[in-house]
Structure 1
Amino acid sequence: MRVKRWIWIVLDSVGIGAAPDAHRYGSSDEQSHTLRHVAEAVAGLQAPHLAALGLGCIDDIPGLAKAPVQGAYGKMQEQSYGKDTTNGHWEYVGVILHEPLPVYPNGFPPEVIEPFEAYVGKPVLCNRPASGTEVIEAYGPKHQETGRPIVYTSADSVFQVAAHEDVIPVEQLYDWCLFARNLLTGRHGVGRVIARPFRGSPGRYERTHRRKDFSLTFGETVLNRLTQQGHPVTGIGKIADIYGGSGITEAIHTTSNDDGVTQVVAQMDRQSSGVIYANLVDFDAKYGHRNDPVGFARAIEAFDRRLPEILGRLTPHDVLCITADHGCDPTTPGTDHSREWVPVLLYSPALQAPVPLGDRKTFADIGATLADAFGLAPEGPGESMWPLIVNACSS
């Protein structure tokens, strides 16, 4: 079997149970099982298409049948230190981050904040770990009154800057974040600087879709190798931002999960080869971090309802890959990501039988499989799952 096109969808934060090393990250992580807990919140997920790809076979998830199954299914353990978007996505493509990226549980120190304040011309507000929605409610009125940027972080390695679009033009916010990205290097090299524009009035603030991530890059990946061979790699959602544009030939911005699926479908109609790679962030941003298990479950069901639009466009020379980058269990204490196994589902119309992929030792198995499917020589970490797929495919 020769692959012509790889459709890759990351269900951001849809973890599937505490990882073996979850105890290193706290008691909430040890209790986490994002998929099971959100399914329990609605007395069982209604997601028959994901179940048919094998999601219900990976673990016991209320509502998901274990048969019949058409796809290849398993789960993956992260080897990189941490539980952030950056760590997960870079591990997929062959970069394992063994050293922790810096975090700031007490806020950013003077050597970071003072030059940033000098650049923007105003002192910052907050400068501590905070929930993104709560921080704009707490500091939004003062920000609107003074124009001072709201700077905050989380348990992840992030420097986040929130500003009201009617107070600070979005392009100016991006400029501030680019300065911060250039400032935050070396021992202060956070994984991402994130622009967080918002709108509205006190009590009715909402973050807008014009968020932008400014990420570190960590060297060449399988995506670079694919583009060097002439394969197009389209990043949908925040994919291009996560990789700092490296290995991405086209970037498409999205406003929601639903828009993300719409863009994937439209790109499948335009792009006949290479990689179409999307991140659907609403599970994380709208429901996981906001402790909304019912909303999280309904978002999974909404994605499942649209999945046939993608499945119906696959040819026998296409592969669909669905996975996640970490957990964000909305039922455990706190609003941080959770250190979890993540599902991996692979499907092609050429598959003739279900394929158990087992427990994979690293997220890098996806990158190794992607390289193998496109005929690239093996490089870096990860074990290809491609032989298991080929053995179950028609010629």
Structure 2
Amino acid sequence: MAKTVIVVIDGFGVGAMPDAGTLRPGDTAADTCGHVLDQAHTPAGRPPRLPVLGALGLGLVHPHPGLARSTRLPVAAGRAALGYPGADTFAGHQTMMGADFSRVAVARLADHLDQVAGALTEAGHRVELLDRQPLLVVDGAVLVHDNLEADPGINWNASGRLDDLAFDGPGGILAIARTVRTVAPVARVIAVGGHADGPLPRFVRAGEGDTVGLDTPASGFYRNGGLRVRHLGAPLDHTRQLPELAARAGLPVTLVGKAADILACEAAERRPAVPTAEVLAHTLDAVRAGGEGLVVANVQETDLAGHQQDTARYGQVLEQVDAGLAGLLSLLTGDGDRLIVTGDHGNDPAIGHAHHTREYVPVLIHRPGAGPARRLPDTSSLADVGATAAAALGLAPYGLATGTPITGG
């Protein structure tokens, strides 16, 4: 009756990958974990304390002096390269669940304006350019634009104020994003609705790689409450990803937090949430339900703190996650249970920009009943995390599109 729980700390990197400086040379210094531990301070003036992440082996894969170099827990700890281009949450999770995402399309909206505008017009919308910029205004309310928070050309957004129109329903923000998705060559079209500090055109700016888009953090969407987001991914064979593989084997599958929004599995129980306390509570509840199964949870507020370049907030969320992991460890005690803590990319709040950073991520695996702690070799793709989880659940990893189980995981 084994249970496998994957906790993804969104935007939690442990040091730059060798190609991190290809787009932004300064990113060769990216180190989300190290910079947060060095620069974040609690209201009491002390650095963040991460005893559970330390016990899970974080200090085995990151040299920060504040992390323990050893642990008595039966853990296997290593690092994973991302295994997909850029640094993106959607691509990271799809890869982690076993999809071959190594050939995502990279495209600016400017190069596909006519095609996108045509699809929206055919769907009955009014479409115009914003001040002759390569950005579309739909029905006078929704901006269709390059995503400025991921690497240029990876994602497009359809963004609107919830004060102006609904997120769901005919003619809403999500419906517009779905029309864009039908012709978009990029990995992800993201529908975003929220409460802004003013008209959205005020927050439009140029991005890297000749992109133009809404500066979502500056707009106030992230801090004003009521944020609605839906991630519409490129077509994938979801039957060859971990959640579907587990569900077809009769195992209960629970998707928590952002994972509930971006992973496909019709049989899964979905518990979407953004506040970290809610994500952790849902995850603990799913494990307490007992029996065997798969739980995949995403902690999003670390990523949001990275985008806001708020090192202190990032540290506070990490401490909150650390406390939640202690609860999970107390519940996952069977010999076949697994707790896997990892990330999907980096988001260094101290690097000097609000983009994701291309970093290795930790792979911390708690294996009750196994031998002493061990350091794993680096793995070349997040897909190996999904394959390792499949093996722990007694599933055939070759049922996934890609990925190899990590030896010793």
**Normalized against structure 1, the TM-score is what?**
0.84
The aligned counterpart of 2:210 is none
Q: Once the two structures are superposed, what CA deviation does each residue of 1:262-283 show, in whole Å capped at 9, x if it has no partner?
A: 1101111225211011111111
Which letter does structure 1 place at the counterpart of 2:70? Answer: A
Aligned residue for 1:28, secondary structure, equals: helix
Aligned partner (choices 328, 331, 341) of residue 310 of structure 1:
328
Aligned residue for 1:95, secondary structure, equals: coil
Aligned residue for 1:304, secondary structure, equals: helix
Asked if the contact 2:9/2:300 (under 8 Å) is kept, the reply is yes
In 2: Cα distance, 1:180 partner to 1:19 partner = 32
1:160 deviation in Å?
A: 1.6
Q: Which runs of 5+ in 1 are unaligned?
A: 131-141, 390-395
In 1: Cα distance, 2:340 partner to 2:185 partner = 31
How do residues 364-375 of structure 1 correspond to structure 2 at under 5 angstroms? Answer: 364-375=383-394
Q: 1:66 to 1:38 in 2, by over 3 A?
A: same
Q: 1:343 to 1:98 in 2, by over 3 A?
A: same
Which letter does structure 2 place at the counterpart of 1:190? Answer: V
Q: 1:31 to 1:113 in 2, by over 3 A?
A: farther
1:48 deviation in Å?
A: 0.6
The reply on whether 1:192 has 2:188 as its aligned counterpart is: yes
The aligned counterpart of 2:378 is 359
In 2: Cα distance, 1:312 partner to 1:378 partner = 28
Over the residues paired in the alignment, what is the CA RMSD in angstroms? Answer: 2.9
Asked if the contact 1:164/1:199 (under 8 Å) is kept, the reply is yes
Q: 1:226 to 1:241 in 2, by over 3 A?
A: same
Aligned residue for 1:283, secondary structure, equals: helix
Aligned partner (choices 158, 163, 167) of residue 166 of structure 1:
163
Aligned residue for 2:378, secondary structure, equals: strand
Which letter does structure 1 place at the counterpart of 2:185? Answer: G
Aligned length: 371
Q: Once the two structures are superposed, what CA deviation does each residue of 1:299-358 show, in whole Å capped at 9, x if it has no partner?
A: 111211222221111121321111000011111132111111000011133234112112
Asked if the contact 2:274/2:300 (under 8 Å) is kept, the reply is no
Q: 1:357 to 1:248 in 2, by over 3 A?
A: farther
Q: 1:124 to 1:115 in 2, by over 3 A?
A: farther
Aligned residue for 2:376, secondary structure, equals: strand
In 2: Cα distance, 1:270 partner to 1:150 partner = 42
Asked if the contact 1:116/1:180 (under 8 Å) is kept, the reply is no
The aligned counterpart of 1:51 is 54
Q: 1:173 to 1:237 in 2, by over 3 A?
A: farther
Q: Which moved more, 1:194-203 or 1:172-181?
A: 172-181
Asked if the contact 1:174/1:195 (under 8 Å) is kept, the reply is no
The aligned counterpart of 1:258 is 277
Asked if the contact 2:180/2:189 (under 8 Å) is kept, the reply is no
The aligned counterpart of 1:283 is 302
Q: Once the two structures are superposed, what CA deviation does each residue of 1:105-138 show, in whole Å capped at 9, x if it has no partner?
A: 75862321354366443547589799xxxxxxxx
Q: 1:126 to 1:19 in 2, by over 3 A?
A: farther
Which letter does structure 1 place at the counterpart of 2:251? Answer: H
Q: Once the two structures are superposed, what CA deviation does each residue of 1:358-387 show, in whole Å capped at 9, x if it has no partner?
A: 2112211112212222222341433312x5
Which letter does structure 1 place at the counterpart of 2:403? Answer: G
In 1: Cα distance, 2:50 partner to 2:181 partner = 42
The aligned counterpart of 2:33 is 35
Q: 1:127 to 1:207 in 2, by over 3 A?
A: farther
Which letter does structure 2 place at the counterpart of 1:318? Answer: D
Asked if the contact 1:22/1:340 (under 8 Å) is kept, the reply is yes
In 2: Cα distance, 1:195 partner to 1:241 partner = 11
Q: Once the two structures are superposed, what CA deviation does each residue of 1:217-269 show, in whole Å capped at 9, x if it has no partner?
A: 421223222211111211111223323x2365211111312210011011112
In 2: Cα distance, 1:224 partner to 1:204 partner = 36
1:207 deviation in Å?
A: 4.9
Q: 1:346 to 1:180 in 2, by over 3 A?
A: same
The reply on whether 1:121 has 2:126 as its aligned counterpart is: yes
Which letter does structure 1 place at the counterpart of 2:291? Answer: S
The aligned counterpart of 2:78 is 74
1:190 deviation in Å?
A: 2.1
Aligned residue for 2:282, secondary structure, equals: helix
Q: Which runs of 5+ in 2 are unaligned?
A: 42-46, 199-218
The aligned counterpart of 1:138 is none
